[in-house]
A and B are shown apart, each in its own frame.
Chain A
Amino acid sequence: MINGFEEIDHTADVGLRVFACSLDELVMQAARGMLHLMLEDAGSALQVTADGEKLQIAVEAETPDELLHVWLSELLFQMTVTGTFPVDFTVETCTPSELRVLIDLVPLTKDMAAAATEIKAVTWHGLSVEQTADGWQAQVIFDT
């Protein structure tokens, strides 16, 4: 299966359908998809910088879909309160109930903020994570 994400056409909000060959790749693709919705092309051009910050996020959950929710919500919260934007992820641990990721961040500049779309929250509406014959897929809707 090819790793990736596509945007779901939702009237009021925005959503993602995510595909990956493994669960750790799925949660990373979902994060990249969320960042893409926020900053589109400008976000993918960002590079890890020498003066960038690093942040470790560790989350636990009872189910894979809950894990995806708490991971994306935690990422969103950290970005908001620290005024930063993630540029790279290194998965340290990933099981259906536990995820630990090291994140490289850059400061959210005025220009980036101007180009960005605000995501208020990760919703539970239609949230799903499924293991398929050839990998994993997920769906997530955001409140914008």
Chain B
Amino acid sequence: MSMQIRQINDTLWEIPKTGGMRVPGRVYASRSMMEHIREDKSLEQVANVAHLPGIVKYSLAMPDIHWGYGFPIGGVCATHAEDGVISPGGVGYDINCGVRLVGTALSAKDVRPRIRHLVSSLFSHVPTGVGASKAISKLSRKELHDVAVQGAAWATKRGFGSAAHTDFIEENGCLAGADPSAVDERPWQRGADQLGTLGSGNHFLEIGCVEEIYHPEAAERFGLRQDGIVVLIHCGSRGFGYQICDDYLKVTIQATQKYGITIPDRQLACAPLKSAEGRAYIGAMRCAANYAFANRQVIMHLAEQAFMETFSLSQREVGFNLVYDICHNIAKFETHDVDGRKLDVCMHRKGATRAFGPGHPDIPAKYRSIGQPVLIPGDMGRYSFLTVGTDRAMKETFGSSCHGAGRHMSRKKAMAASKGRNMIQELHERGVEIQATGTRTIAEEMPHAYKDVADVVNVMHDAGITLKVAKFKPLGVIKG
């Protein structure tokens, strides 16, 4: 299906409201990116999201947009809190997949000579890959309930990091209102021994160094300095979240019929926010979000242990310092200015991040005058970015931005393109040491399977949605 789309300015495009669309679609992209975006079905998916009841203003997509299932990856949608809907497909299977950025007291010159040892140590401390489990002792059902309700604070109380860390996590590492009674038996079974594990696919832990600073004031406030070593942790709620999404898609497919909602794709199944089905999903989804916050908190602690052992340094000398932790796949209630009045909405961000501008009360006090840090990991070969949210984001995108590079090559094409090549050696020659559970993951996740994350970040920067703060060069990566 060929989509009608018109260019509004250098970085913004609009899909006009047609058929059953309740609002227009808006996509942030450069002209050259749009040529590529048109090749798959992601624009059709932006239009499909615009069919959701109660959607406010636009069905939005960020420049890392690509073809997902139901929502496009990079999709943002606000639904009216009073009469709108919630869609599990607008959050995704990996509920609260997200990224955590950790600063350290170390510099590139300290780490480079021992990078192989460090990568190997991280690989043995943090379980990765298909079915990765047993990072910590298996949790009882009571403990899992506590994780689901308390989030990152559960982990800090158990000695995984410090209580002060929760100040630097979106929602302080805990979505209030998590309801374990809304979670069926199966997610608990799938999530029982996976806390503290990275998993597979595009999840990773990356050691980087600050290669370039664009916004010195923000970089200083976020505790970063030129050549400083940082750690990026990208993972989510593992099997616990996948199963909750799967279970609630069945519930919401029935709810869609029950409430007479017309949608163009079953994966967009939804339920009114105020319905029993909608409320149950929200309670369960929050449990998975909290599991993911705890997961990244535990992994950060395991990584800190690996650093301390590799360099024979104390905790103070390694100097792990949580810069920020953000969600990529989430639905949350927020208040936004819409056409001059405050409106309560349910924000769906599917492969997109929150990017609140300066002064917002939900930003940690230390950063409030600068804006919220927005972490944008790259492709494990080139670079990752730290950016910061702006007032413009609050006006145009409900305080949202992009989440990563975005694939431009399918896994099948990436496998074919990497045939006969030694990706580990190629990355080594680029100064990146990688250790993964499987070689197939490295081939599927090869850097060229992704868009250049700099292009994605530059569109957001030029559009004034987020401003560039710093660029990180990867030195080492562990993957599933």
Contact = CB atoms under 8 A, between A and B. Distances in A.
A142 to B, nearest CB: 9
Interface string A119-132: 01111111100000
Contacts of A120: 93-94, 201, 242
Secondary structure at the B interface, as helix, strand, loop or mixed, is mixed
| Listed residue (A38, A117, A144) with the most chain B CB atoms within 10 angstroms of its CB | A117
Given A13-B68, A125-B265, A144-B201, A80 B412 contact: no
Interface string B251-265: 001000000000001
Nearest to A142: B69
Q: Contact size class for A?
A: 20 to 34
Chain B: interface residue count, which band?
35 or more
B245 A121 contact: yes
B67 A12 contact: yes
Contact of B130 (A9, A116, A121, A126): A116
B38 to A, nearest CB: 13
Contact of B266 (A7, A81, A116, A125): A125
B189 interface: yes
Contacts, number: 111
B441 A77 contact: no
Interface in B399-424: 407-413
A77 B191 CA distance: 11
A125 B66 CA distance: 15
B440 A115 contact: yes
Contacts of B200: 116-118
Interface in B427-465: 437-441, 444
Nearest to A118: B200
B190 A10 contact: no
A108 interface: yes
Nearest to B411: A14
A69 to B, nearest CB: 9
Given A77-B190, A80-B239, A11 B93 contact: no
Contacts of A73: 246
A117 B243 contact: no
A125 B69 contact: yes
A121 B266 CA distance: 15
A83 interface: yes
Nearest to A38: B130
B199 A127 contact: no
A10 to B, nearest CB: 6
A121 B67 contact: no
A73 B242 CA distance: 11
B451 to A, nearest CB: 11
A10 B70 contact: no
A42 to B, nearest CB: 10
Contacts of A83: 131
B381 interface: no
A114 interface: yes
Given A12-B407, A144-B201, 16 more contacts: A9-B410, A11-B66, A11-B408, A12-B69, A13-B68, A14-B410, A77-B243, A116-B129, A116-B438, A117-B441, A118-B200, A121-B242, A123-B70, A124-B249, A124-B269, A143-B92
27 contacts: A12-B66, A12-B67, A12-B68, A12-B407, A77-B243, A80-B190, A83-B131, A113-B131, A113-B437, A115-B439, A115-B440, A116-B440, A117-B440, A117-B441, A120-B201, A120-B242, A121-B246, A123-B69, A123-B70, A124-B69, A124-B89, A124-B249, A124-B253, A124-B267, A125-B68, A125-B267, A126-B69
Interface of A: 7, 9-14, 38, 40, 73, 77, 80-81, 83, 108, 113-118, 120-127, 141, 143-144
Interface of B: 40, 42, 66-70, 73, 89, 92-94, 129-131, 186, 189-190, 199-201, 239, 242-243, 245-246, 249, 253, 265-267, 269, 407-413, 437-441, 444, 480
